[in-house]
Chains A and B, each alone.
Chain A
């Protein structure tokens, strides 16, 4: 990171070691296979970082990693997923100064950055609690008119591709990835193009939080380049996207039909949208029937 805080003395004897911002695929931090980047500069023109411009092949690799990780992630106990998400909150809390520095470098005021950071930690803690509760809240035992036990439970859709909110550097990447994985999905997220740095640093948080490789994959780059691949990839089960303009939405919807992809579009700042809504938007409902021996009077016919 080449964040130059004003308080840092130019006369410092040691040259700062800058961080290369890379993408996060399958638990590793590769550069984009394309070798392309975009320079992120501060208002006064100083280079903050060269951000990877992920390619469709990076996306393909990320989806492959997410698919490979999905079943075993879904098979983890809810308690375990909950603890891992709480661990993410712990790891994030540790890095407060780092994230605030990144946000301010990207144009946040200190106060804004502080608020978003706190909200981010709170969201993680909140979601951690949902991991082992949403199934209870949203399941049902259905009183069918025959001698059967019948119940419906939410189940993850599988691999979720997401395009994070545009305006929030840290909160956005969490909203776009965590509700999905709390519910047993795996995730490929494209970070905000405008404020991408925190997403990469958040990947470092994930990498140190017992999140298995491939469960969350984070790309940086251009929506315009990637969105049609997000929409058309046949092994992506659901697409989650914030702040999509109307023409793009039409384009995504059309391209998403080939595998009947589930689509969730949200707008930044929608106060009615709760984290659990995002989580449940990425769940299927599965209903199971089984006969019950000896329930009398139910009758076999209808």
Chain B
């Protein structure tokens, strides 16, 4: 039997209470600066629009490597995340940097296509140079109870990924309950996901702390059971520094510090980076910052 099918109930109110408690952690001074830099280094800078062009992607890649050059010693972001058609352009633009190229695939964002096309989509992205693949699960199949189909599909995409790391997007905004988020997470991890990811960014609500917490707990359980680590990527909706720090506290207290790096934790976000930069400069100068001083690629 698939591990996801064993009932693991979640109590939503209890989850929300736990999350509220993370937000009462007071993050000051050195902890704050370290946390903000860590968060910057965990960002998957993302553009996933119909109107994406090579120009837009190149500009974003430049930003990924040069977040705010007037502030010395800043890390780069973890990766840029683009459509398969933009992978080659991004790869070229990021040449020589440590920034990875992630590509969405598998009929993103709906996943409403055939397995053959999804595999082809994935292969195309990988062959174009993607280091990481962000796939979506088939929520339609999931909701009709075809858990084995969902599982098999992830296994097939994982195989198509080759060496690229696979992030599995559950699209938690379409899951309905935290029990389903847990079940889908367990299916994804069992099928070989390197990361589990909350959202495409196209559906609201995207990432929330409660959703992320239950996914982190599935990762923890998997680690307890097998000793193997799985990564986590909340995506969408995390646009300010304070919230990002709350997420990091949540990761630290739920999984431990081994997860506090971009090998195991990512933020899928586009506007978060500049907010973090503002906060870092504020910590340094003592003055509250204006958006005019931070580039918006």
Contacts and interface: CB of A to CB of B under 8 A. Distances in A.
Interface in B1-54: 11-14, 16-17, 19-21, 24
Contacts of B19: 300
B11 A291 contact: yes
A300 B12 contact: no
A294 B11 CA distance: 10
Contacts of A291: 11-14
For the residues of B in contact with A, the DSSP-based class is: helix
Interface string A272-298: 000000000000000000011110000
A301 interface: yes
A48 to B, nearest CB: 67
A148 interface: yes
Interface in A135-156: 147-148
Contacts of B14: 291
B20 A147 contact: no
A301 B13 contact: no
Interface centre among A148, A291, A292, A300 (most CB of B within 10 A): A300
Interface centre among B11, B16, B21, B24 (most CB of A within 10 A): B16
B20 A292 contact: no
Interface of A: 147-148, 291-294, 299-301
Q: Which 8 A-B pairs have the closest CB atoms?
A: A291-B13, A300-B20, A300-B17, A293-B12, A147-B13, A300-B16, A301-B20, A291-B11
15 contacts: A147-B13, A147-B16, A148-B13, A291-B12, A291-B13, A291-B14, A293-B12, A293-B13, A294-B12, A299-B20, A300-B13, A300-B17, A300-B21, A301-B20, A301-B24
Given A291-B11, A300-B16, A300-B21, 19 more contacts: A147-B13, A147-B16, A148-B13, A291-B12, A291-B13, A291-B14, A292-B13, A293-B11, A293-B12, A293-B13, A293-B177, A294-B12, A299-B20, A300-B13, A300-B17, A300-B19, A300-B20, A301-B20, A301-B24
